[in-house]
Amino acid sequence: MNPLPPYAELLGLSTRRSDDGELLWVMPFREAVVGRPGFLHGGAIAGLLEFAALGTLYDALGEKDEVKVKPINVTVDFMRGGTEHETFAAATVTRLGNRVANVEAHAWQQDRARPIAAAHMNLLLKRGR
């Protein structure tokens, strides 16, 4: 994977693969991601979800084509406050067409079955030919 952009570095993001090969994004709890005391900032959570969605999309696209990706819209649903724990995110490409992709991402902390936030992204794909 390419080096992460500065905002991902500010958030302290890293990636790993689960046992079944799923791309996971990890954000440690630290001062740079705090909103109100003891809780994650909503922007940090949204940033994590966006990186998970885009990273998973680029992973699905592979390196066979040069594709420029432009968000059409992004919706983030905050379900509960993120607390002083490591936060994980993973995404699923629900549609991958020639010109449009749809991706869903979920963030959780200690229990994947209890997400703290979810995002849905519609993205425009411009393929180099």
Domain count, the chain: 1
The amino acid present at 82, given as its one-letter code, is G
Domain containing 67 equals 6-127
Tens of pLDDT along the chain (129 residues) come to: 567 889 999 999 999 999 999 999 999 999 889 988 889 999 999 999 999 999 999 999 987 668 999 999 999 999 999 999 999 999 999 999 999 999 999 999 999 999 999 999 999 999 876
The kind and range of the H/E element at 96 are: strand 87-96
Tell me the CATH number at 68. 3.10.129.10
Establish if 1 belongs to a structural domain. no
Establish if 47 belongs to a structural domain. yes
- What Rg value do the Cα atoms of the chain yield, rounded? 15
Between the CA of residue 7 and those of 13, 44, 50, 102, 128, what are the distances in Å?
9, 9, 11, 23, 27
Are the C-beta atoms of 23 and 59 separated by less than 8 Å?
yes
